[in-house]
Structure 1
Amino acid sequence: MISSSARAGSRRPAMARSYTTPLVILTSLFFMWGFITSLNDILIPHLRAVFTLSYVQSMLIQFCFFGAYLIMSFPAGFLVERLGYKAGIILGLSTAGTGCLLFYPAAEHVSYPFFLGALFVLASGITLLQVAANPYVAILGAPELASSRLNLTQAFNSLGTALAPFFGSALILSVAIKTSEELQKLNPSELASYGVSQASAVQAPYIALAVVFYVLAFAIAMLKLPTIAEPEAPAEVSEAHGVYRAHTNVWGYRHLVLGALGIFLYVGAEVSIGSFLVNFMGQPQIAGLREEMAARYLSLYWGGAMVGRFVGSALLSRIRPGYLLAFNAVVVGALLVIAMLASGAMAMWAVLAIGLFNSIMFPTIFTLAIDGLGKHTSEGSGILCMAIVGGAIVPLIQGFMADHIGIQLSFCVPVVCYLYIAWFGLKGHYADFAAR
């Protein structure tokens, strides 16, 4: 972290200017992993049709992606701690590029397990990127503006998330997919030929993505990024009149552990809401929309998240991050209660508005959780990224509730998640402070 003396006086403007180029470069990485993550939404229906998968089998795509966060995040934290942020970013980009290249032989062999393996390698690279880039952005400048910087870069992550479906639908889903009735009429040789032609539709897009990842890795290797030293002693913080207690083990920082639970619940709640949105809007008592029409409204949800991050980046330079996080979590909880109890357009728009208030949550929880970790920052980042596995678990809980009490009332599950996030914003991230 930067010392208080380095932050003071006339040096701040020069320091801010010196960080502009690396922040621009890092922003491109956030865009890329938002793009590649959102592309899974196109990959799922495509591979489901190619391999005639059940719904549960097609969901293995998401489980492989989120499983990489669980398995690879903590090792990635140790790698970044030893290699440094720049080397970690280069390794993450190279690994992601290799995962994209593996889609080519997976399509040639028309092998679903091969696709899942390629996806796991790709997700492992994205995990390493997150572990390296998130804390790097957080410490690349004045500590009191860490949440603002991370929200700004995350806004471009949302831009990638919003654009990927348009490109994916044009490049991967451009060839008409046969219905199950049409597939039953094909003989074995025709069916095999059809499978190869459909599987090959992913080859060109993912090879192009591999090239982009490798070019970014080369560009970053050639550029001189500033080296930011993490302090051995507890860092000064802006959230309270105190300092964090120093610990010899990263797990000793209680606010980090509480923040990891916050990441787990936030990502789980976000994925749950997104997973049920189309079906929710299709309910007769809500909007009765066909799936095709309901899917169009999703652009408003993700667009709201992008706008919210740009607005949140500005607000976080003036408002304490914990307070804004708590406010947004309470608003989302209220919107979910409206969606549970109301009907018609009111319930539908209440859920769609959640994207706007979700926007700042991940980067804000992240920066609050790693604040004051000092030399343990990389390990702490690995723990937080590992907690993203909540996106594979919380939706299962809401799915169980939906089967028993209906989709509308099942939103009680994310309500509980947001109540915890509100508490973390108000009180939880202070848990490890010691008085001066």
Structure 2
Amino acid sequence: MKAMPIFLAFLCMGFGDVVGPMVSLAKETFQLSTFMAQLLPLMGFIMFGLLSVPMGLFQDRKGKKFLLTLGLLVAFIGLVIPIFNGMYGPIVQFDPTSNAKFYIILLAILFLGAGATILQVSGNPIMRDVSPEGKYSSNLSFGQTVKAVGSSLGFLIPAFVAKPLGLDWTVLFPIYAVLILLAYLWVKSTKIEEKKDINSNPATFKSCFSLLSNPYILMMVMAIFLYVGAEVSMSSGVPLLVSEKYGIDLKELGLVLSWGLFFFPIFIGRLIGGFILRYLQPKVFLVSTVIISLIGIVMMFLGSQALAFVGIVLVGLGFANIFPLVFSITIDKMPERSNEISGLMISAIVGGALIPPVFGFVADHTNILVGFLVPAACLIYILFVSLTHKKTA
């Protein structure tokens, strides 16, 4: 039962992924250029690079539960900023000559991204404290399944809640705020016994970054950096592919279809992955998931819309468990350095801010389909890591 409030925190962790669908929503609402709209994921993911290591060190002193509740509080503050500025669901006409409201949303996303960063730093290792012996990998994978539900809400609420009720997509803010407040109260009232290694020393910036001198740790941190960059490239690129190559209107069906092709398979894959990991070694599962993802990207280039859509589904299924597998495999190797490793690996999520512009550059100078070679290259590196894991671990 102690894992239940942590799973709810994982749901809230997924709210940070709202920047994906929000790019097209904000671009339409505020009549933005593509460059301006892309400031949303930049603001959301840049905090992972800035805060993860300091928060990992802070967690070493204050505890995982303290940091988890802090992350929920910071995210909540971000969500109430647009609410207090009139963006909570009612349809309003924004002044096209002013970007003031958009800048307010950027500020909100900055706080939401900071909160999501803190939740990632604390949520992944605290899952180990509430998991029975030998169940950490499977519980973490299931937690990522719950997170995928939170990620999906940004695609589904505008289509299935806001539109039928005659509301604007900004109804996301109060819905997210209520759920985060519930998670905060539940985690705060739950007693969690945090596992500590009596032989470990307090973490410092030096001890944290010194871990990067370990080739194995550096390789795994880089795998997280490239994986998140590949996932954000896919989540933002699939709607563009659906629209530009296959002529499907984003306003009518695009967001929901993009969710169905990519995020729903991620959800299913993580749900299944939690059970598979009860019987299959994590390193074997990691190799399998990366290969499935690469096969999916290859299918996207075969010229058929049907094959491309099936390929996207396979990519989603493959992507589903890469993050929790890389994370848990690394933590299980050096559990006494879990806070420092967590900080390093979560800081690598900044790949979600830095890899997509490369995707965009390639797509702009060729076409949208060729842009998917960027996440493919990221996957090839992760495949190399997964195949050499046995030698380096």
Q: When the two structures are superposed, what TM-score results if normalisation uses the length of structure 1? A: 0.78
2:282 paired with 1:315 = no
CA gap 1:309/1:175 in 2 versus in 1, 3 angstroms = closer
Give the C-alpha shift of residue 60 in structure 1: 0.8
Give the C-alpha shift of residue 279 in structure 1: 2.6
Rg larger in 1 or in 2?
Answer: 1
- Mean Cα displacement is larger for which, 254-263 or 336-345? 336-345
Q: Which residue number corresponds to residue 183 of structure 1?
A: none
- For residues 378 and 143 of structure 1, what CA distance do their matches in structure 2 show? 19
**AA aligned opposite 1:66:** F
- For residues 228 and 66 of structure 2, what CA distance do their matches in structure 1 show? 27
CA gap 1:163/1:207 in 2 versus in 1, 3 angstroms = closer
Partner SS, residue 278 of structure 2: coil
Q: Which residue number corresponds to residue 30 of structure 1?
A: 10
CA gap 1:429/1:368 in 2 versus in 1, 3 angstroms = farther
CA gap 1:248/1:297 in 2 versus in 1, 3 angstroms = closer
Partner SS, residue 197 of structure 2: coil
CA gap 1:299/1:47 in 2 versus in 1, 3 angstroms = closer
- For residues 175 and 396 of structure 1, what CA distance do their matches in structure 2 show? 36
Give the C-alpha shift of residue 258 in structure 1: 1.2
Show structure 2 runs of 5+ residues with no match: 88-98, 202-206
2:107 paired with 1:126 = no
- For residues 389 and 418 of structure 1, what CA distance do their matches in structure 2 show? 17
Give the C-alpha shift of residue 261 in structure 1: 0.6
Alignment of 1:193-272 (within 5 A): 202=170, 205-230=172-197, 232=199, 249-272=210-233
- For residues 43 and 402 of structure 1, what CA distance do their matches in structure 2 show? 20
Give the C-alpha shift of residue 311 in structure 1: 1.2
CA gap 1:429/1:143 in 2 versus in 1, 3 angstroms = farther
- For residues 40 and 171 of structure 1, what CA distance do their matches in structure 2 show? 18
- For residues 206 and 288 of structure 1, what CA distance do their matches in structure 2 show? 30
Alignment of 1:87-102 (within 5 A): 87-102=66-81
2:118 paired with 1:151 = no
Q: Which residue number corresponds to residue 289 of structure 1?
A: 248
TM-superposition CA deviations, 1:93-118 (whole Å, max 9, x none): 11111111222344489433232122
8 Å contact from structure 2 (residues 154, 172) kept in 1: no
- Mean Cα displacement is larger for which, 167-176 or 315-324? 167-176
Q: 2:27 aligns with which of 48, 52, 58?
A: 48
2:38 paired with 1:59 = yes
- For residues 282 and 33 of structure 1, what CA distance do their matches in structure 2 show? 29
Partner SS, residue 301 of structure 2: helix
2:91 paired with 1:112 = no
8 Å contact from structure 1 (residues 69, 127) kept in 2: yes
* Residues matched between the structures, number: 375
**AA aligned opposite 2:318:** F
The sequence identity of aligned pairs, in percent, is: 24
**AA aligned opposite 2:320:** S
**AA aligned opposite 2:146:** F
Partner SS, residue 102 of structure 1: helix
TM-superposition CA deviations, 1:374-403 (whole Å, max 9, x none): 442112111111111111221211222222
Aligned residues: CA RMSD: 2.8
- For residues 42 and 332 of structure 1, what CA distance do their matches in structure 2 show? 22
Q: Which residue number corresponds to residue 192 of structure 1?
A: none
Show structure 1 runs of 5+ residues with no match: 1-20, 178-197, 235-245
- For residues 342 and 85 of structure 2, what CA distance do their matches in structure 1 show? 32
Partner SS, residue 194 of structure 2: coil
Partner SS, residue 333 of structure 2: coil
Q: 1:82 aligns with which of 42, 48, 61?
A: 61
8 Å contact from structure 2 (residues 53, 208) kept in 1: no
- For residues 106 and 251 of structure 1, what CA distance do their matches in structure 2 show? 43
**AA aligned opposite 2:7:** T
Q: Which residue number corresponds to residue 385 of structure 1?
A: 346
Give the C-alpha shift of residue 288 in structure 1: 4.1
Q: Which residue number corresponds to residue 354 of structure 1?
A: 315
8 Å contact from structure 1 (residues 266, 418) kept in 2: yes
